[in-house]
Structure 1
Amino acid sequence: MFVNIFYQLIDIVKTNFFTIVLLTIFTNVIQYYINYFNRPSKIPGPLPLPIIGNFHQIGANFTVSLKRLHEKYGDFYEFYTGSTHNIVISRPDLVEKVWGPVSLKNTKFILRTSYSEGLNELGVGTKGMVFNRNIEGWVLNRRFMNTISAPSFLRESINLSNKVIDQVFEYWKIINKEGMQIDVCEWLNTVGADVVSTTATGKSVAATTKLFNSLNIENKKSLQGIWENGVKFCQSIHLYNESMAFMMLIPAKLRRNLPFISSINKKYLDNRDWIYKELDRVVSEKQKEIENTPLSQHLKPNILTLLLTTNTERDLDKISVGKFERPLTKDEVISIIREVFTGGLDTTSSTLSIIMFYLAKHRDVYLKMRQEVLDVYGSLNNPVLTLESYGKLKYIEAVIYESIRMFPTVSNMPRTATEDIELDGFIIKADTTVHTDFLVLNHNPKYFKDPETFNPDRFLTDKESILKYVYIPFGNGVRACPGRAWAMVQMKTFLVKLVCIFDIDSNDKNDAPKFSYHTVNRPADIYINVKTEIVNI
């Protein structure tokens, strides 16, 4: 009898407990939507769910998701990642408010993103430059990064790029004789890795050599590089870039506790640790090399040497940042070098892959580029490339700009206001991330005639008709890309050398390149045929 009564009491407690839990969840959901529908700024956008926000509508490909949301909600809308509020704009008057101010004093959008625990875990929320929310530290790092726009640095970059590209094109000649196609994305990733690693540290990772050797062409082998873990390091940087969107968009509780998500989270954090240890080793080796070099002996210029000698007796290029007079700490050096790789590897190589996709489909454009090289240098036979001559390559520059317009590697860019601000009649709270959708802007027929047509001439004959805040491929104002001049030098070097040596074509029937989203848009499956028998213009 007493046993039966005991079990009945347990059933009552269970029933009441689950009832209370369900009522609590129900009440919280109701309160969530009451707050949502009563919010002061009712911006268009998809209805979010409690806890996850609009993750179920975003998906893995952020670029495709934003395009779909734009089709439904227009040039100004909102979405939520968890409880984090995001705004998306794709109208020039709104873009001007975000990107227009050209001084630190005047801009309200100095921050890259809203506060993110995930970015702090990656080590970029308060360090480096791209996501650094510490303004004083950001200004310091920005000053150092601006040195890569100095003429002396760009001239050295041309020389280094030239050497890497010459070696790659020798490989391509062999591949041509073997009747094989060129995997453009794979090759340009390795070109970027070798150029960036040599420029940043003075050591080549020899990624192009390793790729060539992997083809197993008989009796055709080349020496490996001098950075032992270099190729793995560059692959880890690609993974690190991929992890940024994941860590930024997915709330910490979900990343750490959901079974499948938590394993991805661990993979990204382990990768972060390995990169730091590898850079710590590389920086330590460079420090010893500098210490063992007599003061009278010239040091080879590279970014790492510049950073390690700043405000020391070996200072190569005196840096003045307010009252900053001390040498950089090792941790500061590692953060800056890491950003040279994260910013330099993915974007330039991916953009070059996109350019190659369109050039292989537009022979008339390719021939115009070759004619321009002939006009500027007088010969296609090993022209002498100089920084001054690059300013004359207007058509090649237009090809680069049009390729970025057609398919930007960075198709959306976030900025965050430091205070409440009005946008399109709505008050946007401070620390709300505002994404500028460049892909939508660049394909809007209001701003570009025949936007789906690849036409570099629009940046020559119709350049004045392009509104400034419709097309800003490298950003604008205080948050403009500090590596834009370096990127243009690398791309022009590659393209000039390409048209001098090869004819190219492609069997690809697609109008746009295939790609996947990994914080940036990475093109994939771009294959071309190269021929060394150049057809006369």
Structure 2
Amino acid sequence: MFADKLFVVVANNFFTIISLTIVTYVIQFYINYFNRKSKLPGPLPVPILGNLHQIGNDFPLAAESFRQKYGDLYEFYMGSTRHVVISRADLAEKVWGPLSIKNTKFIMRNAYSEGVDELGLGTRGMVLNRDIESWSFNRKFLVQSTSSPSFLREAIKLTSKVNEEVFKYWRIMEKVGMPISIPDWMDVIGIDVVVTTATGKRMSSTAELFNKLNVNEQKSEIKGMWNNGIKFAEAIFTYNESMAFMMLLSPFIRRNFPGFKSINQKYLDNKTWINDQLEKMISERRKEIENTPLDQPLEPSILTILLTTNTERDLEKISVGKNDQPLANDQLSSILREVFTGGLDTTSNTISYVIYFIAKYRDIYLKIRDEVLKVYGTLDNPNIVLESFEKLKYMDAVIQESIRSFPTISVISRAATEDVDFDGFTIEADTTVYTNLKALSNNPKYFTDPEKFNPDRFLNDKGSMVKYSFLPFGNGVRMCPGRAWAMVQMKTFLIKLVSTFDIELVDKNAEVKYKYATVNRPVDINLHIKARKD
């Protein structure tokens, strides 16, 4: 009896202590919340979760919902961490305007995040790297290597070759009336182009996809040097998806809450698998270079340039500050990984949206075709050269209008290195500030009839466009370093597409659909294709 009574007393006291602890935590949470120095409008957070329960799995949708309720400058919380969202051009100028590291207060992409470090991004690579010296080196390398005319010319040749192979598959599919799933095909085209360009070793993801479709039991005979191309692509997409999850959610929630815990582990296991693949790529190429005589030229792939940087075989003579030594393996892996993560998801998704719009509006499709005919003099296997791209003004306008209408990255972050004033509110140092790019580019104050897909606005009205209302590749010191390469890939594909096929949406009334996974990944863009009719 005594033991039973003692157990009851202890149990009651235990639950009382737990209850008081929880109540104390909740009270302290709201005391801190309501006593914070600079109070912005925004949804009321709850302890531990913050506003996670209101955001769900579609951050851009939640950001727009909050904007409509709280305005163009508001805050939200993930756990106990404050985040700020802006949706006005004058505020965007404060974040994106300065062009030099010394002048900008927003050199960082995000506030410190333990999850970013767990992904190996906090002091490596470029996208989320907070080590400015390391970031500067990586950025210079990527800009210099992916923007040189020689690299872009090779990229055109490789992209054209991959496109021609894909179109052979599409002609077979056309004969049996099989629709084309554009997101699936853009993913594998992207992986073949980017990985092959980056490593010098041919991927065959497009062949893998065609074989998987089993069209009349026909199979591609193309074999790549790297196996499991589609699996690698999916791993890269999963890695990109993990960035928002790891950056926004607190370690406590990720590691302890049912559901989140398993997702957290999946993302960490995926990171490990990608790192293993990168190490294999690097090791194989390093051996090939070591076995190549010094007087024999090397193929100038990105990986080759990485491995020879600051060595006697340096192809590009790249060094920044103290970084004048050959790159260590972790540097090699981080840069190569970001070539894939940055070069795959954004470009393949953007071209998918472009195709959606030009399939929906046939007059625009035909205008692109007319421009291609005018520039190249023929639609029968036009000779695509780098110098001709600047003449494709209308095509460029169509790409820009697609990005404006539905950006692949609709909400993007930067972090303050010191306190900044926004409309009289103080944004403390190391606060992540998100710019709602979609809200900016679809605001009727900045764009006439923003709901209309009108490429002409980038031909006729570009001079009157409000500064910082449209940031397709970002701006300032962290502008996308691979933008030239991305445009080459997209324009090369579009030239080949309009020269070869007529296209239409399977569902002509289909609206843009997407799945949010750090970027807006398109879904259900399906086309009927037919051979071009003159």
Number of the residue aligned with 2:204? 206
Number of the residue aligned with 1:368? 367
Q: SS at 1:460's partner residue?
A: helix
Contact 2:499 2:532 in 1 (8 A): no
Number of the residue aligned with 2:428? 429
Number of the residue aligned with 1:487? 486
Note the C-alpha offset of 1:130: 0.4
Cα separation, 2, equivalents of 1:151 and 1:10 = 79
Contact 1:44 1:76 in 2 (8 A): yes
Contact 1:205 1:231 in 2 (8 A): no
Aligned residue among 31, 37, 40 for 2:37: 40
Number of the residue aligned with 1:178? 176
Amino acid at match of 2:142: M
Question: How is 1:243-254 mapped onto 2 (pairs within 5 angstroms)?
Answer: 243-254=242-253
Q: Which runs of 5+ in 2 are unaligned?
A: none
Cα separation, 2, equivalents of 1:476 and 1:60 = 27
Cα separation, 1, equivalents of 2:24 and 2:159 = 62
Note the alpha carbon deviations across 1:305-337, whole angstroms, 9 max, x for none: 001011112111111312432111111111100
Number of the residue aligned with 2:440? 441
Aligned residue among 114, 118, 135 for 1:117: 114
Cα separation, 2, equivalents of 1:45 and 1:219 = 57
Number of the residue aligned with 2:79? 82
Note the alpha carbon deviations across 1:474-498, whole angstroms, 9 max, x for none: 0001010001111001000000111
Note the C-alpha offset of 1:219: 5.5
Note the alpha carbon deviations across 1:282-308, whole angstroms, 9 max, x for none: 100000000111112111111000010
Note the C-alpha offset of 1:155: 1.1
Number of the residue aligned with 2:333? 334
The two structures, once aligned, show a CA RMSD in angstroms of 1.3
Cα separation, 2, equivalents of 1:20 and 1:284 = 57
Number of the residue aligned with 1:311? 310
Contact 2:137 2:319 in 1 (8 A): no
Aligned residues: 532
Note the alpha carbon deviations across 1:324-354, whole angstroms, 9 max, x for none: 3211111111110000000011000000110
Amino acid at match of 1:54: N
Residue 127 of structure 2 is aligned to residue 133 of structure 1: no
Amino acid at match of 1:50: P
Cα separation, 2, equivalents of 1:268 and 1:204 = 27
Amino acid at match of 1:193: I
Q: SS at 2:268's partner residue?
A: helix
Cα separation, 2, equivalents of 1:311 and 1:229 = 32
Contact 1:237 1:275 in 2 (8 A): yes
Q: SS at 1:521's partner residue?
A: strand
Contact 1:233 1:275 in 2 (8 A): yes
Amino acid at match of 2:122: G
Cα separation, 1, equivalents of 2:17 and 2:226 = 61
Number of the residue aligned with 1:505? 504
Q: SS at 2:211's partner residue?
A: helix
Note the C-alpha offset of 1:16: 3.2
Number of the residue aligned with 2:297? 298
Amino acid at match of 1:129: M
Number of the residue aligned with 1:389? 388
Note the C-alpha offset of 1:510: 4.2
1:215 to 1:9, Cα distance in 2 relative to 1, 3 A: closer
Cα separation, 2, equivalents of 1:14 and 1:228 = 59
Q: Which runs of 5+ in 1 are unaligned?
A: none
After TM superposition, the structure 1 stretch with the greater mean CA deviation from structure 2, 468-477 or 209-218, is 209-218
Cα separation, 2, equivalents of 1:361 and 1:467 = 28
Cα separation, 2, equivalents of 1:164 and 1:156 = 12
- Identity of aligned pairs, percent? 61
Number of the residue aligned with 1:359? 358
Contact 1:185 1:523 in 2 (8 A): yes
Contact 1:355 1:400 in 2 (8 A): yes
* TM-score after normalising by structure 1: 0.97
Cα separation, 2, equivalents of 1:11 and 1:305 = 71
Cα separation, 2, equivalents of 1:509 and 1:54 = 38
Cα separation, 2, equivalents of 1:146 and 1:211 = 32
Cα separation, 1, equivalents of 2:282 and 2:7 = 65
Cα separation, 1, equivalents of 2:87 and 2:183 = 29
Number of the residue aligned with 1:268? 267
Cα separation, 2, equivalents of 1:510 and 1:273 = 42
Number of the residue aligned with 1:194? 192
Cα separation, 2, equivalents of 1:330 and 1:24 = 47
Cα separation, 2, equivalents of 1:337 and 1:14 = 56
1:361 to 1:155, Cα distance in 2 relative to 1, 3 A: same
Cα separation, 2, equivalents of 1:287 and 1:354 = 38
Residue 452 of structure 2 is aligned to residue 453 of structure 1: yes
* TM-score after normalising by structure 2: 0.97
Cα separation, 1, equivalents of 2:27 and 2:217 = 71
Amino acid at match of 1:468: K
